[in-house]
């Protein structure tokens, strides 16, 4: 009997799989909601950072400055196997292409207990798509 725990997440969507008292590991596998055409909100965590690692595919981390309630979008192309930390109080989301897989490390139950959402207007969604398109043309 092995003392090592192993996990393999192949289903689409968000799956916390290694949960301990103060932290958890989850995997986000591509779902339609994370495609650039379907992003309709951003989120923030007030009490914890959130760590992302691209395992496979193409994804963008979106960060947002809110000035008088109006979002200004920035996006970074994720590189495979690089650790990205989103500090607490930073509005963010992730855009994923089909087939992408991202590992997420965060405080236990962050996605349930420490999350606020800002739903985007049609104009804001258009601005977000334009931000991603600019970056995509450069790569």
Q: What is the CATH number of the domain that holds 76?
A: 2.60.120.10
In a domain, 128, yes or no: yes
In a domain, 69, yes or no: yes
* Cα angle: 50, vertex 54, 58; to 5 degrees: 125
In a domain, 32, yes or no: no
In a domain, 6, yes or no: no
* pLDDT, tens only, 62-90: 999 988 888 999 999 999 999 999 999 99
Domain holding 51, by residue range, is 44-138
Nearest by Cα to 40 from 129, 136, 112: 129
In a domain, 13, yes or no: no
* pLDDT, tens only, 2-61: 899 899 999 999 999 999 999 999 999 999 999 999 999 999 999 999 999 999 999 999
In a domain, 90, yes or no: yes
Neighbour-count burial for 110-120, b at 16+ CB within 10 Å, e otherwise: bbeebeeeeeb
Q: What is the pTM for the complete model shown?
A: 0.90
Domain count of the fold of the chain? 1
């Amino acid at each position: 009997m092995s003392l090592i725990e192993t996990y393999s997440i192949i289903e689409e969507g968000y799956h916390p799989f290694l949960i301990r008292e103060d932290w958890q590991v989850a995997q986000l596998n591509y779902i339609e909601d994370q495609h650039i055409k379907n992003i309709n909100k951003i989120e923030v965590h007030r009490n914890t950072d959130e760590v992302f690692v691209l395992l496979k595919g193409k994804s963008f981390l979106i960060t947002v400055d809110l000035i008088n309630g109006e979002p200004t979008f920035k996006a970074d192309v994720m590189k495979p196997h690089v650790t990205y930390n989103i500090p607490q109080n930073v509005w963010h989301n992730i855009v994923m292409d089909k087939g992408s897989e991202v590992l997420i490390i965060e405080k236990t139950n962050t996605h349930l207990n420490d999350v606020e959402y800002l739903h985007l207007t049609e104009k804001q969604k258009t601005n977000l798509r334009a931000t991603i398109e600019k970056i995509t043309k450069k790569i």
